Amino acid sequence: MTTTSRNPEKLPIAALSALAMTGFICIMTETLPAGLLSEISGGLNISEALAGQTVTAYALGSVVAAIPLTIATQGWNRRRVLLATILGFLFFNTLTALSSSYTLTLIARFAAGAAAGLAWSLLAGYARRMVVPALQGRAMAVAMVGTPVALSLGVPLGTWLGNLLGWRLAFGSMSLLTLALIAWVVVKVPDYPGQPKGQQLRVLQVLKTPGILRVLGVVFTWMLAHNILYTYIAPFVAQAGIIERVDLILLVFGLASLIGIWITGRIVDRHLRRAVLLSLAAFALISLVMGMNSHSATAQYLGVFVWGLSFGGAATLLQTALADTAGAGADAALSMNVVTWNSAIAGGGIVGGILLDTQGAQSFAWAVFVLLLAALAIAASARRSGFPQGARSAGKTVLGH
């Protein structure tokens, strides 16, 4: 039976929070091995370098599967797709917890990443359909809050739990959390129909929509800049003599991100373009400050706070712009966002590693600055489509609203 939210003029917090919890599980599942490499390597009798490839396998699954899975499920009711992704996490996290084979673990991680790719393609459009167009930005901000919460609180907690109880029980606890989420979705999340066959848009059609490539260009350059710095934050802050306080640095970043997403939720529907340009400009300027004061601990803490503040609303801003621009092709466009975003994550690791080996950690700030200037130029040029001026148009909405 298909249901809808009873009062779309108010934010359905319980339903949106279930989407946020889905995002939280996506991020936790992706990043949990990073803090438990030595435990995983001992448990599977492999090197830490090989254990690190469990993160790579997850990201690869998202990149490879996001678009084809989104296309394959376009006609499905939305709650059915959401539950399928959550069941994927339940099964593959449980398999990871029980596996004694490295090959099987990699397969489970790849499949979990595929589930995440589908989930990220779905969540933004789902949140938008629960409310009237004027509240879509705020709804997305609530639905996206799981990401900064996972990065700031969930990852350290998962690492602590894994060190205390073992990495297998850490993944097992994710499965228990997923079971609770399934019940939450069934009870609180409204259902919506998929796209009728005649209205399903092909990926190339959506890609040719004016503004889509520019938004994706901003996604890639912004996230590449972010991931160069985030992936190699330890050697970067080591220049200021605070490498032993990386946990505090990441906490400052996460808390600032939470503030950033709250601010974004308040302004995204009226000032999306300005928010994007201001966020990029703030990140660019603070990267210069961090680069020119690389030996100052105070400058690094301040820089990380402003960086987190500017990054917190990035997912909401970019996915809102992409969905608005794509119109009825929003789900397909958001699947492209998953591929672009995860490619930038991988690119950040590769480019940052090359810079660290050849130029040293001091080069990160300058590379980030150049990439952000490129992102600013692309966003500034997308005045008519992509990042239009003024308040968001009430006429731009996804299918079925």
395 secondary structure, DSSP code: T
Please answer whether residues 321 and 384 qualify as being in contact, where contact means their C-beta atoms are separated by less than 8 angstroms.
Answer: no
Homologous superfamily of 203-381: MFS general substrate transporter like domains (1.20.1250.20)
Query: What does the pLDDT read at residue 263?
Result: 94
- Per-domain residue ranges for the chain? 13-199, 203-381
Name the pTM for this structure: 0.81
Please answer whether residues 321 and 386 qualify as being in contact, where contact means their C-beta atoms are separated by less than 8 angstroms.
Answer: yes
| 13-199 and 203-381, same CATH topology | yes
Over residues 298-339, the pLDDT tens digits come to: 999 999 999 999 999 998 899 999 989 988 788 788 889 988
Query: What does the pLDDT read at residue 201?
Result: 58
Q: Where does 189-296 have alpha helices with state H?
A: 203-207, 212-231, 233-238, 246-292
CATH code linked to domain 13-199:
1.20.1250.20
**Two structure tokens written together for 323:** 């969905």
Across the chain, which has 401 residues, the per-10-residue mean pLDDT values are: 54 95 92 81 88 85 90 91 97 96 96 94 90 88 85 75 87 94 96 74 80 96 93 87 83 89 90 96 97 95 96 91 87 87 84 89 95 97 91 52 37
Inter-CA distances, 234 with 31, 176, 230, Å: 16, 32, 9
In angstroms and rounded to an integer, the radius of gyration of the C-alpha atoms of the chain is 20
Cβ-proximal residues to 110 (8 Å cutoff; 6+ apart), any chain: 57, 58, 60, 61
